[in-house]
Amino acid sequence: MIIRDTGPRERSGTREPGSVASPIAYAHPGAFRAARAMVGLTQTQLAACLGMSRRSLAACETGAGATLKTIAALRDYYERSGIEFLGTVNLTTNEVHGSGACWKLAALWCRCASSLFPGDANFSAARALLGLEEREVARGAGLTPRQIGNLESGRSFTRKGYDRLRGFFEDSGVEFLSFRTSVRDYIGLGVRVASKEARLRPGLWANREAGWRRS
């Protein structure tokens, strides 16, 4: 499955003279799903935390019937939790490019010591970005649902299984984002839809691994 990052037909932000692109002010549904995977909450848990219905939360993650008030509340929660939303929208075509979510560096330092993920790959966030079930990813990667679960949680897995799953996501249009440090090489930050139109901010790398690389 190749993800087409053309997103909801919504306009937001302020257009500068002569400009056709601006930061996304709302967040693509896939980015909301990835953000929830990064904080490790179910829809029910997050809805209870925000005091909203699970149906309203689900609408933000599907792009069907979400209100601007709910979207704003959800964005505010994630941003206060240390997550940054990525992407640009072309105001001529209304196409969204490079949507995703990553940890802000200030929040990252509080989390990196307990990171469970090998290299820079957050597989649960990648699956959420694509909107796929475990069984769908398992079938596409040639793995079992149990292996997918182990890789997403950082439990027992093999190098071969890791490479297969990472390769599946990269071939499906996902970029794993990381930040380079002198202490831990590349630390994983999040995921986004691969894009040539939306440049990463300085200091971020796409599809780089700490320790070992897929051939």
Q: In what order do the strands lie in the sheet with 96-103?
A: 21-23, 83-90, 96-103, 185-193, 174-181, 204-206
* Whole-number pLDDT of residue 52: 93
Q: Tell me the pLDDT tens digit for each residue of 10-20.
A: 333 333 333 34
Q: What is the DSSP string of 116-135?
A: --STT--HHHHHHHHT--HH
pTM, two decimals, is 0.81
Question: pLDDT band for position 7 (50/70/90)?
Answer: very low
Domains and CATH numbers, the chain: 21-206 (1.10.260.40)
Higher pLDDT, residue 24 or 122? 122
Q: Tell me the pLDDT tens digit for each residue of 94-147.
A: 788 899 999 987 666 555 544 545 566 899 999 999 999 999 999 999 999 999
Q: Cβ distance 127 to 98 under 8 Å?
A: no
From the CA atom positions of the chain, what is the Rg in Å? 17
Say if strands 96-103 and 204-206 run parallel, antiparallel, or are unpaired: unpaired
